[in-house]
Amino acid sequence: MKQQEQSTTNGQSLEIFFFKRTVINQFEGPNQNPTTALQTIDLAEASIVLNQTDLVDYNWPQQQLRIRNPQGVLAKDRPAEMDIEGFFVLVFNQQRIVMGRVRSNSTAMAADYPLLLDTIESYSNQQAISVYQLRSNSGTIRSDAPHSFPNPDPTIGEAVKEHLRQLGKLVE
């Protein structure tokens, strides 16, 4: 199925790389923006890599992703880097387009970099699916307004949106 899905999207791909805190901490001091390390870290150091076949759907107005958990585990049994102790890099067509920290949306934390927020829905749905919200910074966590894709280049956001549409995974 992965080969079939890739061939229908002209070789384009979307992946999320999750990193353990210890991998990132070796590059950064305390309270520093992790994106510097995530721009240069070897993606092979990721402990978890999810691809577009793991993506159930992507709600574009809310920037909400529903993702199948590795090995079909429930949210409470996921590795810590997929919860509140990890970092992520979103890669589209082999280009790092969004990178930041994985947090809970109930955690109070000021951040001027992108966040992949684990929602309470991950724990309440009793399925092996995690629900994340992608936010450009902590100031946008509580807003009910539609959210924009957290990459400053609008052509990248539109390319990702069109790719998701072709996959049949875009919720508009």
pLDDT at 6: 39
Average pLDDT over residues 99-106: 84
How is residue 150 annotated by DSSP? S
9 in Cβ contact with 166 (< 8 Å) = yes
Total count of domains within the chain: 1
pLDDT at residue number 108: 59
- Tally DSSP H helices, then E strands, for the chain: 5, 9
Sheet holding 14-20, edge to edge: 48-51, 14-20, 86-92, 95-104, 115-118, 129-135, 64-68, 55-59, 170-171
Query: What band does 62 get if pLDDT is binned at 50, 70 and 90?
Result: very high
Phi, psi dihedrals of residue 53, rounded to the nearest 5°:
-75, -25
Q: How confident is the model at residue 29 (pLDDT cuts 50, 70, 90)?
A: low
Amino acid found at 96? R
Range of the domain at 80: 2-171
How far is CA 80 from its chain centroid? 14
CA distances from 150 to 24, 135, 153 (A): 21, 6, 9
Q: Residue 164 to residues 26, 65, 109: CA-CA distances in angstroms? A: 34, 11, 30
Note the pLDDT of residue 31: 58
In the chain, pLDDT over 90 holds for what percent of residues?
Answer: 46
